[in-house]
């Protein structure tokens, strides 16, 4: 599992004085950095080197988050397919799970314009971060892509 | 169905030179304005008048969108429950469906801190925008909340 | 002068229930689209075709703007130099000037990594949108780059 | 001087594959958190407790920043007036100054709707972070508000 701390920005709070949903989407994207590095270690964005495209995201807003205290973003792998994989995300504030999310990402060649199988070596790297059961709640992982 | 046009901003394109997922989240949020007005006609954000809280969102990125051409955002109701309802969203560019999404929203009293049943009069307003079958693709609506 | 309408998004309002400064920065960037098209008509972002880099921005928040009513963004040229030019921006809501801004942009070759003189033909296009005196307030244009 | 580290998000890079100007605006806003705490220690956003309003910002983009490496944001006070003060900001990446900025903030009572003198005790707190000469470049501080 990959863990980062993010500090809410003044404008991340919206008119209801809680964190707006856009901030969460951004925080989960930052949380994906170390997973992106498994594919492109220097995070070079050229079509020659970048190999991932986002195809689906989901977000569950479980509790309100507020400006004024850091948020911990936890990210892990919940599914590894042939050409795609799923990342699970959690946001914790004040020691409580405040939001959960998922991102389905396809291994993609931007020059050829098509998906590619994930190599064995990267698959092994992803497997090290695979979480089958939610270690915090004991819940069965919500790792199935919603159809 | 509610339809708006949005104009991509230079920075909405990311390093892959397609529209970043954050922009879509923002555009769908703008698309919800007319639905929000059914509950709070003047969009006043005070706790006395604002009555909605977002509890879940989903996004499917079907095709890449690009900077340089307007995007049409279509929004409609796909489910009306006792205290919550679901909005369906679509993003179209160059006459093609590029993304789809969903937002589950709870009718909520911020002063009491609890959900409230949707009134009959608002329910009737929402029903006018209810779409049971996707009128563009003919697909069964993906309006069931993913568990 | 170029004029566009933007519709505030729910999350553009911050905890003070007025429009956050980030939204204004984004709206002015959208307002630059037609000026960008004078240099790159199809807004293609490749290094071969995109020729502009932002070097300075300024923003004056004159009055508070609110969620719930459209904002008009007015953009025009206030200075044309050898390799750079300055754009003036205004945001109007409820018929009142709520914010003013400026963007200094350099004509830049991303492949060679250096600035380039603005061609005569583009200079003529820019001059059509040059405003020497503020036509709304009568003020002398604040078009001098602040040192 | 207040220093924070920010980690660029994938989507903070724009089509030119450098950091978009919006990210810088957001990072400087996060950098203001410890200064905001001098006025409202718990960062409570209610009109009773929040006492600051932004009236002007400036940004100089000195060098391009890129996705893939953290950015250091340095913030300090450059001017303390009767009812307002100015914050200076810098963004450093790879040990180089990449951007500079300024934010003019007014001490403001949102309930009465007018500016208020800064108290002596807060003035003393601000003075501890006052920088008259840029300690990194030796330049005279650019703390005069541009007219």
Tell me the pLDDT band of A137, cut-offs 50, 70 and 90: low
pLDDT at C137: 52
Which candidate from A10, A14, A17 shows the least CB-CB separation from C10? A14
Nearest-Cα distance to chain B for D125, in Å, is: 33
Token pair listed for B127: 């029903």
For residues B134 and B131, what is the distance between their CA atoms, to the nearest angstrom? 7
Provide the number of structural domains found in chain B: 1
Alpha carbon of residue A65 to chain centroid: 18
Phi/psi of residue A28, nearest 5 degrees? -65, -35
For strand A114-115 and strand D114-115, is the pairing parallel, antiparallel, or unpaired? Answer: unpaired
pLDDT at A132: 79
Q: Read off the pLDDT of residues C15-52 as tens digits, 9 standing for 90 and up.
A: 999 999 999 999 999 999 999 999 999 999 999 999 99
Which candidate from B54, B58, B60 shows the least CB-CB separation from A21? B54
Give the residue numbers spanning the domain of D10: 2-144
Mean pLDDT for each 10-residue chunk of chain D (147 residues)?
97 97 98 98 96 97 97 97 97 97 97 96 97 58 41
Q: Decide if B17 touches D, using CB distance below 8 A.
A: yes
pLDDT at A80: 96
Alpha carbon of residue C121 to chain centroid: 21
pLDDT at A147: 33
pLDDT at B124: 97
Q: Find, among A99, A1, A20, the residue nearest to A58 by Cα.
A: A99
Residues of C (70-99) whose Cβ lies below 8 Å from D: none
Residue C55 near residue C105, CB atoms below 8 Å: yes
Q: Find, among D90, D89, D94, the residue nearest to D67 by Cα.
A: D94
Q: What is the percent of chain A where pLDDT is above 90?
A: 89
Tell me the pLDDT band of C133, cut-offs 50, 70 and 90: low
Please, what is the average pLDDT of chain B? 92
For residues B118 and C115, what is the distance between their CA atoms, to the nearest angstrom? 59
Q: Find, among C125, C146, C104, the residue nearest to C2 by Cα.
A: C125
D59:C60 CB<8 A: no
pLDDT at C132: 79
Burial label for D103, CB within 10 Å (0-12, 13-18, 19+), is buried
Kindly tell me if the per-residue pLDDT of B140 is higher than 60: no
Mean of the pLDDT values across residues C69-80?
A: 97
Chain B hits for C42, CB-CB cut-off 8 Å, are 68
Which candidate from D13, D21, D22 shows the least CB-CB separation from B15? D13
Residue A8 near residue A18, CB atoms below 8 Å: no
For residues B142 and B145, what is the distance between their CA atoms, to the nearest angstrom? 8
pLDDT at D146: 37
Kindly tell me if the per-residue pLDDT of C147 is higher than 80: no
3-state secondary structure at position B82: coil
Kindly tell me if the per-residue pLDDT of C134 is higher than 90: no
Statement: the pTM of the whole predicted model exceeds 0.80:
yes
Mean of the pLDDT values across residues B72-86?
A: 97
Mean of the pLDDT values across residues A27-54?
A: 97
Kindly tell me if the per-residue pLDDT of B138 is higher than 50: no
For residues C56 and C79, what is the distance between their CA atoms, to the nearest angstrom? 13
Residue C99 near residue C59, CB atoms below 8 Å: yes
The CATH code of the domain that includes A78 is: 3.10.129.10
Token pair listed for B40: 């709070």
Tell me the pLDDT band of B146, cut-offs 50, 70 and 90: very low
């Amino acid at each position: 599992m990959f863990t980062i701390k993010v500090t809410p920005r003044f404008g991340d709070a919206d008119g209801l004085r809680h964190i707006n949903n856009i901030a969460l989407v951004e925080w989960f994207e930052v949380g994906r950095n170390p997973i992106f590095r498994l594919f492109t270690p220097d995070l070079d964005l050229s079509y020659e080197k970048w190999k991932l495209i986002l195809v689906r995201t989901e977000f569950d807003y479980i509790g309100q988050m507020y400006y004024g205290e850091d948020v911990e973003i936890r990210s892990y792998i919940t599914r590894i397919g042939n050409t795609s994989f799923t990342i699970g995300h959690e946001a914790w504030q004040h020691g409580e799970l405040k939001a959960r999310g998922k991102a389905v990402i396809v291994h993609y060649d931007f020059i050829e314009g098509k998906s590619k199988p994930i190599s064995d070596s990267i698959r092994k790297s992803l497997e090290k971060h695979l979480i089958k059961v939610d270690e915090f709640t004991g819940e069965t992982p919500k790792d199935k892509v919603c159809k």
